[in-house]
Amino acid sequence: MKEETISDAVLREFLLGGLDDVERDRIETRFLTDSETKERILAAEQDLIEDYLEDSLTTADKERFVALYARTSEQWRQLRITRSIKNWAITEAALPQEIPAGVSSWGRLRNWLRLKPALVPVAVALVIALVIVAIWLNLRVEQRNRRSAIEQELAQLNSPESMRGRPEQMVPLDLSPGVGRNIDKPKQLDRENVQVVELVLPWINGERYSKYRAEVHRVDDGDSFTIDILPAGSEVIRLRVPTHILRKGQYQVELSGIAPDGSVGASEEYTFSVRN
């Protein structure tokens, strides 16, 4: 069954960062898998840039546009180039009279550049800027898809059903709580011939919880992932992690108890390193 067409208003909200994560994921997936949606998003993005340059956005939309598309000095420079080109195209009096009055400023620009070949390099710079935006959007979609895939794999690997079995090529790694006491000599993981590592996390805090949340992050760059765990016991929490998502370097694990109302309770910290 063909998916429902995304309205222009929703696409504009997507480009301005106004949708929730579920809706953004849906549109980003369509961007990667549906060529028609991709073309519509890129066209909507060009229209949005043009509306900003023509000062036809609302105050709120203008603020959101600047926050997303003009955060760096390079982005500001590209917007200034674009504005200059549009102003030249609109004010140029030498355009052929046969150009219809209803043609957009971008249409006038294309005709004007035929008469002003010296400005072609500037126009090329504009195209490059738009391509950079498209590449940035693609990378963002890929990052979100990768994180979603990792979270799904972790949830499956740590489900109660999976925890009753033992995957092939899995090794345990016993960690001790207290980052400060173990930061100098963290336990090391050798990933050779290992597909899954089971982090064994002793819970020495007196309070017990029906659910725990583990955040594992790489110290060097802050790359992290989070997984909710239903404990099989009360004194030791086991967290299984596929080794392909780990890289060489030092990792910290923050294990927190989750209260019935969803609030975060007591926590413990652990440290380990990946050797290769």
Q: What is the pLDDT of residues 193-238, one digit of tens each?
A: 899 999 999 998 878 888 999 999 888 877 888 888 887 666 889 9
Give, in words, the CATH class of 165-274: mainly beta
Whole-structure pTM value: 0.50
Per-residue confidence (pLDDT) for residue 181, from 0 to 100: 47
| Separation of CA 269 from chain center | 26
Q: What is the pLDDT of residues 108-125, one digit of tens each?
A: 555 555 545 554 455 556
Closest CA to 21 of 139, 145, 152: 145
For 172, the token pair is 């345990």
Average pLDDT of the chain is 77
Per-residue confidence (pLDDT) for residue 93, from 0 to 100: 42
Sign of torsion over alpha carbons 10, 6, 135, 226: positive
Within a 10 A sphere around the Cβ of 20, how many other Cβ atoms?
7
3 state SS for 77-115: HHHHHHHHHHHHHHHCCCCCCCCCCCCCHHHHHHHHHHH
Per-residue confidence (pLDDT) for residue 94, from 0 to 100: 46
Please give the residue that has the higher pLDDT: either 184 or 260.
Answer: 260
Domain ranges of the chain: 8-153, 165-274
Per-residue confidence (pLDDT) for residue 107, from 0 to 100: 55
Worst-scoring range by mean pLDDT, 11-20, 46-55, 62-71, 175-184?
Answer: 175-184
DSSP-assigned beta bridge partners for residue 270: 253
Dihedrals phi, psi of 180, to nearest 5 degrees: -60, -35
pLDDT at 270 over 90: yes
174 confidence band (pLDDT: 50, 70, 90): very high
38-56 mean pLDDT: 83
76-84 mean pLDDT: 58
Pair 57, 16: CB distance under 8 Å: no
Per-residue confidence (pLDDT) for residue 233, from 0 to 100: 66
